[in-house]
Chains A and B, each alone.
Chain A
């Protein structure tokens, strides 16, 4: 082990020229397990696959290997991409291409491995193959990068995800990792690194789109005895998981990026600000940092360059607003995470009053790649004003879901048609929700919008941090907006009045819109109409007068939903009807007299005793008593209960 460490340190990390000698390369190939005489089995092991049962799959493969006394190597890797195919298992027979299999649950392990070892592969679970030079092809099996899910993607930032063991620094170094960082600190000055990043045109990926290089320069040019770099891995939007996937699948590149960012801004302290509920990500990142410290990549006088760096992990204590820069700094200082007025910007006066650079995970992940390949390479990807790629976490009702990376300039239509592959169960597409709880609904007419900061802004849309929710006709927009509003209302910090009161009022009104008519007291109808008329005013005031980004963008989902789905809102308000049959309060139930056999099941289950009748005769529902819970609908075996 010590030998390996010394070898990697001396022969790889400190090696000056880009191409390594053949001997070293051979050794690295072994570490990468590129050319082995034994079978290598990869099992994906990140949150989404663990939820799907990857742990059981792993154990089952392990016992299979032990039982058959096979000399196969079993490795836990990160996420490959498609969440609906988890757990993904990859098998590489000696000298042959890697084969990927999908949805390999515990019970499928044995037939799968039996098949693979005896050259009888089950097509049903097969995903595809990945080939590289010098390996034997599997005839008739599609290549992974030709599958529609991968073909429209450009996986640069996610390039390492799912390919290597995220807990092994050796493997990362063997893949060329950390060499860029060592080279940077040995050969470039602070200004030069900032310059390279600025010339590359890398823009902050958290939604704002500010030039990263410029931000770094501002911090660097502020005179101070200490500076900080913070990587914001907060990501607490409901339904976005791209940062977590990156942290779990490729933590080392993030650390390398943070180290380069810290060097460029002259900071000797970098902080990774992590979400509280991310157990696996935290473990992996902590392990990665410890390993990096062991290899001298973090520490004192790194590789005799005279540069010192320490990276620490801080766990966010659970407040959505802490994603905002100033609130984040407050929470790191041990105060309530409330935002402050800007300026001064964190780049001039941030953590402890020192210049602080705050970057999002995706932005940081791009940095080592730019330093490695040069700013011109980065500029050649994507559009002119927004170079590079963008990562989306796709969820919702699409056929495919997972973390995807597309080149800037790809239209939303392409993502929806090719990567997401349309809507599940043949339903009708309704909208895409981009950018989490404060994002916009994007309807059919806007699907030709390219993924690009300026283009989207010109159309009044926002990219956000990368949440991509596919909504179909079975989802009620009013209910969806209410859900987002409820979330923001709970998370509003309460510092400024427009946000604190505005979110509460909007939620109140939306709740009154979907409340059951029978439960209304006198006067509430009037209140509701009054409220509905004021909703637009409230949102304008919130937009103009709120202190931070959370309040200013809080009405976004409501405003864009009202703009795009006005009829649906009107139906709820005037006709008291919900198209998608989601809003419980607006559902009315009745019993089909011809189908009802009088079995009394529904009457027994009804929590409010709203169903009456005599045994073996058709029953009926008293509408005034019914709360619309839908239990009778669920329990009826003769589908005699009708929803309207």
Chain B
């Protein structure tokens, strides 16, 4: 794991301030989240204090500081999905998984995010589970969907 960060850091040899965001994005893409260790390393590489980097990373929605679940769910809450009832779907996920958007369940199986507009406006509400789009999702279908996902995790 530590190796990866070194490799990525090497790619940004000059260590300029404007490299910070792409650097963090790349680390997150390879590790799934920004660990404390990674942030300290980036800080010493760019000559920035860790608080500055945290301050920046927490400002943006893209960065997460805890690993995402084995199954990451993205729920669209764009205008069209909202009009078609995505709020109820989000509430159902909250209730079933007992986590808020952006969090991960304690066993590390599930995490979910709310995004604005994934582009499937006519088929809303749209959710993205494991790279597969589910369209016209009703809150009633959520428990079944989670059961199916649990089955996949257990048999993987």
Interface residues of A (CB under 8 A from B): 46-48, 50-52, 83-84, 86, 236-241, 244-245, 276-277, 314-315, 317-319, 331-337, 352, 393, 395-397, 401-402, 433, 467, 469, 471, 475, 480, 483, 487, 493, 634
Flag if B25 contacts A395 (CB, 8 Å): no
- In the complex, which residue of chain B has the Cβ closest to the Cβ of A248? B119
Q: Is B129 among interface residues, defined by CB-CB distance under 8 A?
A: no
Q: Is B60 an interface residue (CB 8 A)?
A: yes
Contacts of A397 in B (CB 8 A): 83
Does B66 belong to the interface (CB within 8 Å)?
no
- A50, A51, A236, A337: which contacts B59 (Cβ < 8 A)? A337
Point out which of B63, B119, B122 has the most chain A C-beta atoms below 10 A from its C-beta. Answer: B119
Q: Which residues of B contact A334 (CB under 8 A)?
A: 16-21, 56
B72-80, B103-111, B146-154: which lies at the interface: B72-80
Question: 4 nearest interchain CB pairs?
Answer: A239-B79, A51-B120, A318-B61, A47-B119
A239-B121 in contact (CB<8A): yes
Q: For the complex, give the distance between the alpha carbons of A315 and B63 in Å.
A: 12
Q: Within B49-106, which residues are at the interface with A (CB < 8 Å)? A: 55-56, 59-63, 74, 77-80, 82-83, 87
Q: What are 7 inter-chain pairs, A to B, with CB distance below 8 A? A: A238-B117, A241-B121, A277-B74, A317-B24, A318-B60, A334-B16, A334-B17
Chain B residue numbers with a CB within 8 Å of A402 are 122
List chain B residues, Cβ under 8 A from A277. Answer: 74, 115, 118
- B63 CB, min distance to chain A CBs, angstroms: 7
On chain A, the residues within 8 Å of B80 by CB distance are 239, 395-396, 401, 469
- For A50, the chain B residues whose CB sits under 8 A away are 133
Complex CA–CA separation, A81 to B147 (angstroms): 37
Closest to B113 in A: A277
Partner of B18, one of A86, A240, A333: A333
Contacting residue for A475 out of B55, B83, B115, CB 8 A: B83
> What chain B residues lie within 8 Å of A475 (beta carbons)?
83
Q: Is the CB of B60 within 8 A of A319?
A: yes
**B114 nearest in chain A by CB position:** A490
Q: Is the CB of A395 within 8 A of B79?
A: yes
Q: Is the pair B121, A319 in contact by a Cβ cutoff of 8 Å?
A: no
Contacts A318-B63, A331-B21, A334-B20 supplied; 18 other A-B pairs, CB < 8 Å? A50-B133, A51-B123, A52-B135, A84-B122, A236-B116, A238-B82, A240-B117, A277-B115, A317-B63, A319-B60, A332-B21, A334-B17, A352-B18, A402-B122, A433-B79, A469-B80, A475-B83, A483-B82
User: Given the known A-B contacts A48-B122, A236-B116, A238-B117, are A332 and B63 also in contact in the complex, defined by CB atoms under 8 Å?
Assistant: no
B9: Cβ under 8 A from any A Cβ: no
Chain A, Cβ-Cβ closest to B74: A277
Q: Is the beta-carbon distance between A318 and B62 smaller than 8 angstroms? A: yes
Interface centre among B24, B80, B120, by most chain A C-beta atoms within 10 angstroms, is B80
Q: Indicate if the CB atoms of A317 and B117 lie closer than 8 Å.
A: no
Alpha-carbon gap, A51 to B131, bound state (A): 11
- Contact, CB under 8 Å: B17 / A333: yes
Chain B contact residues, CB within 8 Å of chain A: 16-22, 24-25, 55-56, 59-63, 74, 77-80, 82-83, 87, 115-123, 126, 133, 135, 140
Q: How far is the CB of A510 from chain B (nearest CB, A)?
A: 14
Complex CA gap A319/B60 in Å reads 5
B18 pairs with A51, CB closer than 8 A: no
Min C-beta distance of A518 to chain B, whole Å: 19
Give A484 to B63 CA distance when docked, in angstroms. Answer: 23
When the two chains form their complex, are residues B121 and A48 in contact, meaning their CB atoms are under 8 A apart?
yes
* Contact with A332, one of B18, B25, B123 (Cβ below 8 angstroms): B18
Q: What CA separation (Å) do A315 and B22 show in the bound complex?
A: 8
Contact A238 B79 (CB under 8 A): yes
Tell me if B25 and A317 are in contact (CB < 8 A): yes
Find the B residue at minimum CB distance from A490.
B61
Q: Which of B22, B55, B79 has the most CB of A within 10 A?
A: B79
How near does chain A come to B115, taking the closest CB pair, in angstroms? 6
Could you say which residues of chain A place their CB within 8 Å of the CB of B21? 314, 317, 331-332, 334
**Is the pair A315, B55 in contact by a Cβ cutoff of 8 Å?**
no
Distance in angstroms between the alpha carbons of A47 and B115 in the assembled complex: 15
CB nearest to B56 among chain A residues:
A336
Q: A276-B62, A397-B83 are in contact. Are A238 and B17 (CB under 8 A)?
A: no
The answer on a CB contact under 8 Å between A51 and B118 is yes
Whether the pair B126, A467 counts as a contact (CB closer than 8 A) is no
Residues A336 and B19 in contact, CB atoms below 8 Å apart: no
> Are the C-beta atoms of B82 and A48 separated by less than 8 Å?
no
B117 near A239: Cβ-Cβ < 8 Å: yes
Docked-complex contact B62 and A467, CB < 8 angstroms = no
**Residues of A with C-beta under 8 A to B56:** 334-336
Distance, CA A244 to CA B118, complexed state (A): 10
Query: Known: A333-B18, A334-B18. Is A317-B79 also a contact (CB below 8 A)?
Result: no
Contacts A51-B123, A52-B135, A336-B59 hold; do A469 and B118 have CB atoms under 8 A apart? no
Knowing A317-B25, A336-B56 touch, does A48 contact B120 (C-beta < 8 A)? yes
Q: Which residue of B lies closest to A476 (CB)?
A: B83
B122 contacts A401, C-beta separation under 8 Å: yes
Residues of A within 8 A of B74 (CB): 277
Which residues on A sit within 8 Å (CB–CB) of B140?
634
User: Are the CB atoms of A47 and B83 closer together than 8 Å?
Assistant: no
**Which residues in A have their C-beta under 8 angstroms from that of B25?**
315, 317
Q: Is the CB of B133 within 8 A of A51?
A: yes
